[in-house]
Amino acid sequence: MENRIYNFSAGPAVLPEAVLKEAQENLMALPGVGMSILEISHRSKTFDDIINQAREDLVKLLDISDDYSVLFLQGGASLQFYMVPLNIMPPNNKADYIVTGAWSKKAVKEAKRVGVVNIAATAEDGNFNRIPKQEELKLDPGASFLHYTSNNTIYGTQFKTEPEAGNVTLVCDASSDILHKKIDVNKYGIIYAGAQKNMGPAGVTLVIIRNDLLERCSDDLPTMLNYKTHVDKNSMFNTPNTFGVYIIGLVAKWLLNNGGLDKMYETNKHKAALLYDCIDESEGFYKGHAEKDSRSLMNVTFNLPTEELEKKLVAEALDAGFSGLKGHRSVGGLRASIYNAFPTKGVEELVRFMKEFQAKNS
């Protein structure tokens, strides 16, 4: 096999090697089917089994009750920024948003097309280096929902627990940390996530929606933008991303076969601690962007004393087989994305590399 390097990309991102191998082995012909997953009809029994199994395994991993529907949609999390308010902002037509980064801001922009947005809190004054505390939230008890972004991919901050929304429906963009640990789905009205960070390839958006919310979806909505359409048609009103759903199914199986989400969470905490310890023990050579209690387990963001050194580290790291470490332009510096599929060994090797780099350059 081709040598694989360590891929720290924020998304699309690393996938489990076992998943890639299985997909490769079966790419010419699915066992017992004689055709590739890329060639079969989404109306076939084979694909029905694939999508249903993927859903079942996600239900098992997240312990999702029958009160919820699990959808595989398209248009990315970015389409959900509009679909969520379009469907469930009525009848009150107002919603609360916690703004913790660029993705939250984009979500707010779309919600304003539908109704009134109340910014319950924002962390923009510190360049989104922290998660607002519960007591800072200015919540409207009459809001249709409270929207938040569980993990801020660009800034490297993450909610440790979901905000308390009282009786208001909680909506979460979990694009970059879905499946990184077990969550209590019953606390949520809608959870949505683009697959390409922690769950699969680009082109599928997972939507978990509590069924009673479907009553809010007007029949006058465009067919494809109405959640009811996709619930009624088992995510196959139109042709779904068959390959993407297949890979998500393999990733879900991989998680189940490797101890499920509690085990994954332990591994994720361990991996992140290796990197944050390296940063904290560097005596200021590496400086984390996020405040300590807001640090993300998925995206570790940090700076060096100068931009020159940052460029040097990225270049030398690439030569050494670590790709995708350049930070997002709005934070600068570096970002190591260490999603579920990123191997612990790769984090250990990066830490060794960073220590050597510091010794040579400080």
Ligand X SMILES: *Cc1c(COP(=O)(O)O)cnc(C)c1O
Report the interface residues with ligand X, using CB under 6 A: 11, 76-78, 103, 149, 153, 173, 175-176, 194, 197
77/231 with CB nearer ligand X: 77
Q: Which is nearer to ligand X, 147 or 216 (CB)?
A: 147
> Catalytic residues, which ones?
103, 173, 197
In whole angstroms, how close is the CB of 357 to ligand X at the nearest point?
28
Picking from 54, 59, 62, 25, the residue whose alpha carbon sits closest to that of residue 253 is 54
- How far from 150 is each of 82, 132, 147, 170, 271, CA to CA, in Å? 18, 12, 10, 12, 19
Q: Which is nearer to ligand X, 340 or 358 (CB)?
A: 340
Nearest approach, Cβ of 13 to ligand X (angstroms)? Answer: 10
CA nearest neighbour of 189 among 80, 78, 293, 332: 80
DSSP state of 228: H
- Find the distance separating the first CA and the last CA of the chain, reported in whole Å: 39
Least Å distance between CB 360 and ligand X? 34
Strands 169-173 and 190-194: parallel
Shortest distance in whole angstroms from residue 181 CB to ligand X:
16
Residue 155 CB: number of other CB atoms within 10 A? Answer: 30
Quick one: DSSP state of residue 74? S
The distance from CA 281 to its chain's CA centroid, rounded to whole angstroms, is: 29
- 60's enclosing H/E stretch is helix 45-62
User: 105 or 312, CB closer to ligand X?
Assistant: 105
CB of 223 to ligand X, least distance (A): 21
| CA pair distance 54, 60, nearest whole angstrom | 10
DSSP of 4-40: PPEE--SSS----HHHHHHHHHTSS--TTT-S-TTTS
Q: Are 26 and 149 in contact (CB under 8 A)?
A: no
Cα torsion through 53, 58, 60, 65, rounded to 10: -110
Tokens at 150, concatenated: 């569980």
Query: By beta-carbon distance, which residue lies closest to ligand X?
Result: 76
Q: Which is nearer to ligand X, 96 or 173 (CB)?
A: 173
Task: Return the C-alpha torsion angle 68, 74, 78, 82, nearest 10.
Answer: -60
Q: Which residue, 194 or 324, is less far from ligand X as judged by CB? A: 194
Pick 201 or 346: Cβ nearer ligand X: 201
Where are the extended beta strands (E) located within the chain?
A: 6-7, 68-73, 94-99, 116-122, 145-149, 151-152, 157-158, 169-173, 190-194, 205-210, 287-288, 299-303, 322-323, 334-337
Closest contact distance (angstroms) between CB of 194 and ligand X is: 3
Q: How far is the CB of 159 from ligand X (least distance, A)?
A: 12
